[in-house]
Amino acid sequence: GIQVEQSPPDLILQEGANSTLRCNFSDSVNNLQWFHQNPWGQLINLFYIPSGTKQNGRLSATTVATERYSLLYISSSQTTDSGVYFCAVELNDMRFGAGTRLTVKP
């Protein structure tokens, strides 16, 4: 089945710093989403981005489908950005990566 690899596995930032999270996938996909899972376990949709670039406030994402990767950019990080960020891709079913655990310190 399709493999999804996220990097880095852990990231610690000072408030105000910028970061880039990466998602590599092993096959062509129909769907790619980025999620933020908060400490209470809620999975929040960030982007639905099978290709191209999207921006939403301090967050933006780019997917290069032909090269099988996606990037999530977080600018001017805040403590509320802490949590686990998941990339999920869909071909026949949705496969999640192992996530990037982000900790933003005040």
Partner 1 sequence: DAGVTQSPTHLIKTRGQQVTLRCSPISGHKSVSWYQQVLGQGPQFIFQYYEKEERGRGNFPDRFSARQFPNYSSELNVNALLLGDSALYLCASSRRGGDQPQHFGDGTRLSIL
Binding site for partner 1 (CB under 8 A): 30-31, 33, 35, 40-43, 45, 48, 50, 86, 88, 90, 92-99
23: tokens are: 């998602």
Nearer to partner 1, 54 or 68 (CB): 54
DSSP label at residue 54: E
**Shortest distance in whole angstroms from residue 24 CB to partner 1:** 14
CA 65 – CA 56 distance, rounded (Å)? 20
Nearer to partner 1, 81 or 85 (CB): 85
Residue 101's nearest CA partner among 37, 10, 40 is: 10
